[in-house]
Amino acid sequence: MDLNEYNPPKEIHVGMADMKVAQAPIVLTSLGLGSCVGIVLYYAKTQIGGLAHIMLPDVDLVKNRTNRAKFANTAIPDLLEKLEKMGAERRFIKAKIMGGAHMFGFAKTNKVFNVGIRNIEKVKDILKDLRIRLVAEDVGGSYGRSLYFYLSTGEVRVRTINHGERII
């Protein structure tokens, strides 16, 4: 008998343009990522991690810059800073990314309108600049995703409609 069947870990939802950090046994969830990118950062030693649901690649593209969690170039450094304040050592933090779909047919051939691919590219560039190792990804395509980040293991369950479920 699995005790988690009767006492499942608490889930904390991370909405669009939002970020949260927590420690095991919490499960961080984000539902309905389309062109948005979900990024998780994980520090296995103390089972702490964070999840950001990023909408746009760069804060400099818009006038309203009040929500730093909305943009890849501000959300990722902020998420990293929160984990480091909780005791995480940057050199041992690992990243996984999900989402970045091209949800509108006309955007496939025009990179300007394909926010998904621009989000993916920006997230990867920022991780490289911050020297955070990207260990897994489930990105692209033309379908949405929901994700469940298990801080007890570092695994992310990615659910889709008509495209199955994966653990990364």
pTM: 0.89
Cα separation values, 42 from 47, 104, 143, Å: 7, 32, 25
pLDDT at 5: 61
For residue 21, what pLDDT band results from cuts at 50, 70 and 90?
very high
pLDDT at 64: 76
For residue 1, what pLDDT band results from cuts at 50, 70 and 90?
very low
The DSSP line for 43-96 is EGGGTEEEEEEE-BS-GGG-S----GGGBHHHHHHHHHHHHHHTT--GGG-EEE
Question: Tens of pLDDT along 61-114?
Answer: 777 778 999 999 999 999 999 999 999 999 999 999 999 998 766 545 555 568
Active-site residue, 50 included? no
pLDDT at 137: 98
Q: Spot the catalytic one: 21, 22, 33, 36.
A: 36
Residue 3 has pLDDT above 70, yes or no: no
Residue 4 has pLDDT above 80, yes or no: no
pLDDT at 50: 98
Question: Tens of pLDDT along 34-70?
Answer: 999 999 999 999 999 999 999 999 987 777 778 999 9
pLDDT at 36: 96
pLDDT at 107: 46
User: What is the average pLDDT value for the chain, to the nearest integer?
Assistant: 91
Question: In a 3-state reduction of DSSP, which class is residue 79?
Answer: helix
